[in-house]
Structure 1
């Protein structure tokens, strides 16, 4: 079953909902402790939020008549050049960290990914929310 094509505003609304859930999970983790269960929920929420951000960016560029992108790295670079994201390298690192977290690769990335989500990636996503909101208001 194909997903329906969403316009940029709907994608952005979904991103905002996902971001709010991620922020709530981070607050919960900070107040009740970051055990492995909370870290796992945090990572799932982060992945949904990041995917929603990428869908929003893709919809934004589609509205501008740009062709589809081949992957998350390409769309991230283009988003940086369009001032949708502030830290292009940080976003690319975020993508790489997500790939490394994949259970197919050896290593314990649960702790380091969840730590990076709290310390860095949440800020990147919040900055994207502010930038995208400004773009959609104009």
Structure 2
């Protein structure tokens, strides 16, 4: 049972991945019409015993439309003419996405603008308004 190393602490079993092969569009001429070179990699995130719960939640957030209602992550790779290259590409993209999910985003601390920065902003708006008001019709009175 080969394992796919994600980080030093996290690895997933290759049995957790399901691959389906279909015909790909794009370059390849007549060859593309006869071979199943596109890969659809499916990974059931919710059922994976090797991912911590926080990584699963973050992964679902990062995956967006690639995650199904049932919690299955679907990655499609059809950029290469070779099935093996597409398989490798799909797996690399899965690993990269899971690695990104392991990084905890830094919490934003709310801050207020300084009084000086508020004054600079208002002064800049007043200057810009004066410049624009000078562009109107000339009043000869």
User: Do they superpose with TM above 0.5?
Assistant: no
Structure number with larger C-alpha Rg? 2
TM-score, normalization: structure 2? 0.26
Q: Which has the higher strand share?
A: 2
Higher relative contact order (CA 8 A, sep 6+): 1
Normalized per residue, the structure richer in helix is 1
